[in-house]
Amino acid sequence: MPRASELKKGQIVQVNGQPHIVSQIEVKSPSSRSGTTLYKVRFNHVQTKQKVDQSLTGDDLLTLVDFQKRSVNFLYQDADGYTFMDNEDYSQFTLGAEQLEEQLPYMHEGIQGLYGLLVEGDLVGVELPASVEMPIEETPPAIKGSSASARTKTAHFATGLEIQIPEYLETGEVVRVNTETGKFMSRA
């Protein structure tokens, strides 16, 4: 049973006896001496996707829900949503855009290291790897003589993601992006 202070995005816990996935965590530290740190957590119901917001103290205990974590591949996107395939039994699952809202900027063809979270045989969420490699779709031209630690410029990706990258990178180059912070890490 994890404490509220140990919760991570993507974990599945019981809220009011129902399975919910942790979608956002906001830590609020009080300014007074004896105040306790509060964790404002947004949960989404696994099946209905209904949002539940709760304020918890660091010592509040939550019950984990039994789920499977399986390796999946992103296959394609269509009008129904985003389709994934289980790498073990080749079954396919479709999730809507609202279920993947924070992961969508990183969902591109050929993404590696995805894990599907299955509760009672249904895919309820996708866990991204710590970093993804993505080709730069569009960026201003590289400036000759610019150093690696100098100024940055905006890069646009096919998924709609926009990040700041060093000036020396060009359109078409593949870069590594941190999925937790959304920041440039390195060339791939």
What's the CA gap between 117 and 76, in Å, rounded?
Answer: 18
Look up residue 62 and give its amino acid. Answer: L
pLDDT of residue 147: 57
3-state secondary structure (DSSP) of residue 168? coil
pLDDT of residue 34: 65
Q: 68-129, what's its fold?
A: OB fold (Dihydrolipoamide Acetyltransferase, E2P) (2.40.50)
Domain pair 4-57 / 132-187, same fold: no
pLDDT of residue 185: 93
pLDDT of residue 8: 82
pLDDT of residue 121: 82
pLDDT of residue 33: 66
103 in Cβ contact with 133 (< 8 Å): no
pLDDT of residue 150: 66
pTM: 0.70
Query: Mapped to the 3 state alphabet, what secondary structure does 68-122 carry?
Result: EEEEEEEEEEECCEEEEEECCCCCEEEECHHHCCCCHHHCCCCCCCEEEEEECCE
Would you list the domain boundaries of the chain? Answer: 4-57, 68-129, 132-187
Q: 132-187, what's its fold?
A: OB fold (Dihydrolipoamide Acetyltransferase, E2P) (2.40.50)
Q: Does domain 4-57 have CATH number 2.30.30.30?
A: yes
10-residue mean pLDDT profile of the chain (188 residues): values are 82 85 84 77 80 87 85 91 92 87 86 87 85 93 66 91 91 92 90
